[in-house]
Structure 1
């Protein structure tokens, strides 16, 4: 059984839980270690994570200090665990710790770099960007595999900047469905009758102040013909006053966090469209990513709305589904949605539900395929030894 040490930048990120579940479903044993951005470490079932301390959003210097401190004490933190067959570092700071862990365990374990976002500082054209890209190349020297979630990350960053020249695996942000049953199409939502609103879902990581303002202005323009339902984890550091702003808007409603995948069918069953736009790092990471909400919304028939020129828009265009804005304006959004009626909506939804559901879902066979791919990095001999650290 493949033994994986998984080092993560935020134990509280729901995507970490999904990746751990994928690895375990694929047959691997997982030791999880990482930082957290909350007071407590979330529940991972029978797995007890190794807590490396706290970090904070938008606190780059603090994160660097936390990583340096963790590197010095990593031997003690990992004392007593089995020697890993593979070490996965999620994000750049954890790639640095993956190298430190590799040396602690004898310097032979292959490292896998999991990179699902390209931080804006990595794309800086000045000294900071050059330094960080150099650090990424340095810490990638023992990397044997890259895991990423969008072809644009490979094409427009890793290849364009010459960062890492190793095989890559595309792990799209699909919904984890481990039921083992053939997936069934979701029931369509209740369509609005006369005077009732169409509902747009903006679910997941809520971090884009520009989207929030655009949707507020649009729904006011439409005078209640459209509502926006927000769910997930707001990055409150990115908003002046997220809660106060939403409370003051007559057609915006924040419904809190949700469980993925347990709640997806219910919450997407209440909406008609999915906001698949993010201006958080406009022209950079936001233009390249394929967000979770794209797969979640399409799985349950919500019609996605994307921004022209992004990887999400290319993804939709290749499949002839979804709606695309030419520019981020109330006028353009109104033009795209103003003509929606039951007939045009059902036609849009029908093109989505005609797609193979495997496009949106990750099943147990996919999990097994990932673990098998990781296993091929490992030599034939494995040593189940303990890391011992002097007191």
Structure 2
């Protein structure tokens, strides 16, 4: 069984839970180590007791760097009860640093995988800070055997032209994890609202975009109750002036709390007609390049996605002729896009989404096995390289015996 040591930035992140479940479903044994930003019981993974390396805070990059440095200094002690892994994965740049340190703890031939699912805005700066971080990424990435990322635009807009990394790349999209046959039974029925009831837009997942919240509030007020906004997930409170107060004061916005991914997805998407697949958190940069989890979740469960033009999400939807695309990020344009929504138009948009091949939205157990096999191939490649490097010494030894 392949043993993977997985370093993560946030043990309470539902996306971390999903990745661990994927690796386990693929047949790997996973040791999870990382930092905690908050408590989230829904992110607990049965049978996995994580190694906590400390606590970090959202939007506190300097604090996180200091925490990583302290953890690196005592990592040997933290890993003393961990068996030597076959693969080490570092989820983002900070954790790549710890992956390199762990490699030195266990021995220099353990392959490292750099998993990068967001391009932090500091990496894209054209000043001394950005240059220093890209240099650090190149330095620590030079020890890696594989780069895993989730959007083609990350490769085209950052990794190839700017990062300087020379690594094989694996594209691993943020698809829904559907392990059991029952989880793959998709409710394909359209769900227009009953007479007199509002249309519902679901904004689910990592809620970190102040601009989206303001826009949806303005739009729903304009619509005077014809549209209701349903929020679910984990608010990044550091990114809002006062998330709870803003939602409380918004007459047509409802925050329904956290949910379990993937177990609750069918139920929560089944309650809405549309999925908000827009993120302005790092507008023009990471937010324009990513393909968010909610794109795949909404697609699988029949929620019509809403994107904004000139983004990778919009290009993804346009290539499939599905979804609705907003021209500009203001309430006036959103009203023009959705304000005249009726059952006929909704049904046409729903059918376009429902007619897509389900596999483009989801990963099943066979996909998880292929992922683990790809990771296992890194260990075989290392073993073959070690054998090749050992040949000259073997020949010299044989020569000395003759």
Q: Determine if the TM-score, normalized by the shorter chain, exceeds 0.5.
A: yes
For 1:176, the equivalent position in structure 2 comes to 177
Alignment of 1:370-381 (within 5 A): 370-379=371-380
Contact 2:190/2:347 (<8 A) preserved:
no
Deviation at 1:339, TM superposition (A): 2.3
Contact 2:12/2:39 (<8 A) preserved:
no
Contact 1:185/1:353 (<8 A) preserved:
no
For 1:129, the equivalent position in structure 2 comes to 130
Partners of 1:165 and 1:154 lie apart in 2 by 12
For the pair 1:6 / 2:6, whether they are aligned, the reply is yes
**Structure 1, 177-186 or 327-336: larger mean CA deviation:** 177-186
Partners of 1:323 and 1:43 lie apart in 2 by 35
For 1:15, the equivalent position in structure 2 comes to 15
For the pair 1:152 / 2:153, whether they are aligned, the reply is yes
Deviation at 1:331, TM superposition (A): 1.1
Alignment of 1:218-257 (within 5 A): 218-257=219-258
2:271 aligns to what SS in structure 1? coil
Deviation at 1:194, TM superposition (A): 3.5
In structure 2, stretches of 5+ residues that fail to align are 384-402
2:184 aligns to what SS in structure 1? coil
Partners of 1:264 and 1:116 lie apart in 2 by 21
For 2:28, the equivalent position in structure 1 comes to 28
Q: 1:380 to 1:298 in 2, by over 3 A?
A: closer
Contact 2:206/2:235 (<8 A) preserved:
yes
Contact 2:204/2:294 (<8 A) preserved:
yes
Q: 1:182 to 1:279 in 2, by over 3 A?
A: closer
Contact 2:17/2:44 (<8 A) preserved:
no
1:159 aligns to what SS in structure 2? helix
Contact 2:199/2:272 (<8 A) preserved:
yes
Considering only aligned residues, what root-mean-square deviation do their CA atoms show, in Å? 1.5
In structure 1, stretches of 5+ residues that fail to align are 383-391
Deviation at 1:188, TM superposition (A): 3.1
Partners of 1:200 and 1:182 lie apart in 2 by 23
Partners of 2:231 and 2:322 lie apart in 1 by 23
Contact 2:137/2:163 (<8 A) preserved:
no
Q: 1:381 to 1:154 in 2, by over 3 A?
A: closer
Partners of 2:382 and 2:202 lie apart in 1 by 50
Contact 2:190/2:350 (<8 A) preserved:
no
For 1:274, the equivalent position in structure 2 comes to 275
Partners of 1:357 and 1:201 lie apart in 2 by 20
Deviation at 1:15, TM superposition (A): 0.7
Q: Which is higher, the Rg of structure 1 or of structure 2? A: 2
Deviation at 1:186, TM superposition (A): 1.3
Alignment of 1:1-391 (within 5 A): 1-38=1-38, 43-180=44-181, 183-188=184-189, 190-379=191-380
For 2:388, the equivalent position in structure 1 comes to none
Deviations 1:331-385 (A, max 9, x none): 1111111221111100000010100111111100110000000011003898xxx
Partners of 1:380 and 1:2 lie apart in 2 by 14
Q: 1:51 to 1:151 in 2, by over 3 A?
A: same
Deviation at 1:195, TM superposition (A): 2.5
1:379 aligns to what SS in structure 2? helix
Q: 1:131 to 1:284 in 2, by over 3 A?
A: same
**May I ask how many residue pairs the two structures share in their alignment?**
382
Contact 1:186/1:299 (<8 A) preserved:
no
- TM-score normalised by the chain length of structure 2: 0.92
Q: 1:180 to 1:269 in 2, by over 3 A?
A: closer
Partners of 2:246 and 2:38 lie apart in 1 by 24
Deviation at 1:256, TM superposition (A): 0.5
**Structure 1, 129-138 or 181-190: larger mean CA deviation:** 181-190
Contact 2:175/2:293 (<8 A) preserved:
yes
